[in-house]
Amino acid sequence: MLVATLSTIGIVVSLMQTLVVPLIPSLPTLLNTTTTNASWVITVTLLASAVCTPISGRLGDMFGKRRILLLDLAAMIVGSVLCAMSSSLLPSVAGRALQGVAIGAIPLGISIMRDELPPERVGSAMAVMSSTLGVGGAIGLPIAALIVEHADWHVLFWAAAALGGAGALLILRFVPESSVRTPAPFDFGGAAGLATALLALLLAITQGAQWGWTSPSIMTLFAVSILVFLGWGRYELGRRHPLVDLRISARPRVLFTNIASIAVGFALYGMSLSFPQLLMAPTETGYGLGLSMVAAGLALAPSGCVMMLLSPVSARISARFGPKLTLGVGSAVIGLGYLFAAALMDSVWQIMIASVLVAGGVGLAYAAMPALIMGAVPITETAAANGLNALMRSVGTSTSAAVMSAVLANMTITLGTHQLPSRDAFQTAFLISVTAAGVAIALTTLIPMRTDAVESR
C-alpha cells in the first residue's frame, strides 16, 4: 500500500503538467487576455516546480518527508480551487504556480521508499515512483481533453482539487513518517539564491522565442542567472548545512547522472509537444492526421502505460546489470523512437509506435536515475539529492519547450488563414530529440560505478 499510495500521488501531481494543454488555444479568450499573457498559465507551473522541488526535498530531510509531502499536496489543492473559482489571468497564474509546487512530491516519495522499504523492494518501488513523472503527463492529455470537450473548463481544476484531497487522505492512512532526519537550520540564503538563479534561467529559456533570443531582456536574464549561480555556489560551499551539498553533487556519478537527466527530460518533452500537433494537423496539409484533441490524446495514452509497465523491468535490469546500463539502453530506445517518427509519420499507428518506443525509453531511463543517485549519497541527503535530480529533468523539459516551440513556430506552411508547422518542422524536432538522446548516451558512458555512498558514510 505504501508503494501504491506514493505512486498514485506521483501520477496525480504530474498530471498538473498537461492539465491545461487542451485549453491552450482558448486560454486568451477564457481569461480575457492576450496570447502572450495567457502563456504564463503554462510557464508558471514549470517555474514553480523547478524552484520548489529541491527546496521541498531539503525541507523533507530536515522536518519530515511525510509532513512536507502533505504540504505539497495542500498547495496543489489550494491552487486548484483558486483556478476553479477564477476566470481572470492573475488568480489563474497564482493557482497554477501552487499546482507546480506539488511536483516536489515525487522525489520525496522516492526518499520515503528508501527509508521505509526492505532493501529487496527498494529498487522496483523507486523505479515505479520515478516513472510517474512521465506517466501522469502522458495520461493527463486524454483525460483533460475529455473533460474540456464535455464540461465547463473549471471542472478540470475541481477534479484536480478532489484528486489532491484523496491523495492527502491516502498519505495519512498508509504513509508513515520517516525517522531519517537531518537536523539543521534551513538555508534561507541558499534557497533565495537558487530560486533567483533558476527563475532568471528558466524565464529566459521559456520566453526567448517570444521576446527575442538576442533582446536586452533575455540577455540580461542569462547574465543574472550566471552571476547568481556563481555567487550561490561559493556561498553554498562555505555553509556548514547547505541547501544543496555541492561536494556530493559534484561526485562524477551524481554529476553525470544529473546532466544526463537534462538530456532525457529534453527528449521526453519533445514527444509531448510535437506528437499531439502532428496527430491533430489537418489532413489538407498532406502530412497531418486530422484527429481531434481527444482522439490524439487516446492515441498517445498507451505511452503512459508503457512507462509504468517498464519501470519494474528497469529495476530488474538495473539489479542484474547495473543502473548505468539501464540508463544507456533507455536513452538508445528514445533515440530509436524518434528516428522511427522522422522516417515514418504518415499514419496514426506509426506515431503510436514511435510514442511507445520513446515512452519505453523514458521509463527505463527515469527508473534508473534514482538508483544511480541513491548509490552515491548518504541516506540523510536522499530527498535533497532526488529533488536536485528532478530539477535537472525540469531544466531539460523547459529547454525542450523553448527549442521545440521555436522550431514548430518558425518552420510553417499556410493553410487558409492559419500558420501550421510544416513536415520539415516535425522532422527537425524529431532529429533534435535524437541528438538529445545521443548526448544522454554519451554522458551515461562517463558515469563511474564505484560505490561513492560508502565514502559519504
The 10s digit of each residue's pLDDT in 333-353 is 999 999 999 999 999 999 999
Residue 387: give its domain's CATH number.
1.20.1250.20
pTM comes to 0.82
**C-alpha grid cell for residue 365?**
531511463
Residue 112 CA, chain-centre distance (Å), reads 20
Residues 100 and 110 both lie in one domain: yes
Most confident range, picked from 259-273, 275-289, 302-316: 275-289
Among 206-215, 281-290, 315-324, name the most confident range: 281-290
Indicate if the pLDDT at residue 453 is higher than 60.
no
Of 209, 242, 275, the last residue of a domain is 242
Total domains in the chain come to 2
pLDDT per residue as tens digits for the range 28-62: 889 998 877 887 888 788 788 878 888 888 888 88
Query: Any idea how long the chain is?
Result: 457
Supply the pLDDT for residue 333: 95
| pLDDT of 79 over the 50 cut | yes
252 and 378 fall within a common domain: yes
User: 250 with 236, same domain?
Assistant: no
- Over range 363-376, report the average pLDDT: 83
Please tell me whether residues 118 and 181 are part of one structural domain: yes
Buried b (16+ CB within 10 A) or exposed e, 70-96: bbbbbbbbbbbbbbbebeebeebbbbb
Question: What 3-state DSSP class applies to 412?
Answer: strand
- Statement to judge: residues 73 and 15 lie in one domain: yes
The answer, yes or no, to whether residue 235 has pLDDT greater than 60, is: yes
- Same domain? For 388 and 331 the reply is yes
The answer on 255 and 226 residing in a single domain is no
Single-letter code of the amino acid located at 3: V
Identify the domain containing residue 418 by its residue range.
2-186+243-456
Do residue 127 and residue 50 come from a single domain? yes
Q: If DSSP codes are grouped into helix, strand and coil, which group holds residue 337?
A: helix
For residue 413, what is the enclosing H or E element? strand 412-415
Instruction: Give the domain-ending residue among 227, 242, 257.
Output: 242
* 71 and 172 share one domain: yes
Same domain, residue pair 155 and 296: yes
Confidence of residue 126 (pLDDT cuts 50, 70, 90): confident
| Higher-pLDDT residue of 11, 381 | 11
Same-domain pairing of 253 and 238: no
Asked whether residue 124 falls in the same domain as residue 235, the answer is: no
For the chain, give the mean pLDDT.
86
Tell me which of 221, 242, 263 is where a domain ends.
Answer: 242
Indicate the pLDDT class of residue 445, thresholds 50, 70 and 90: very high
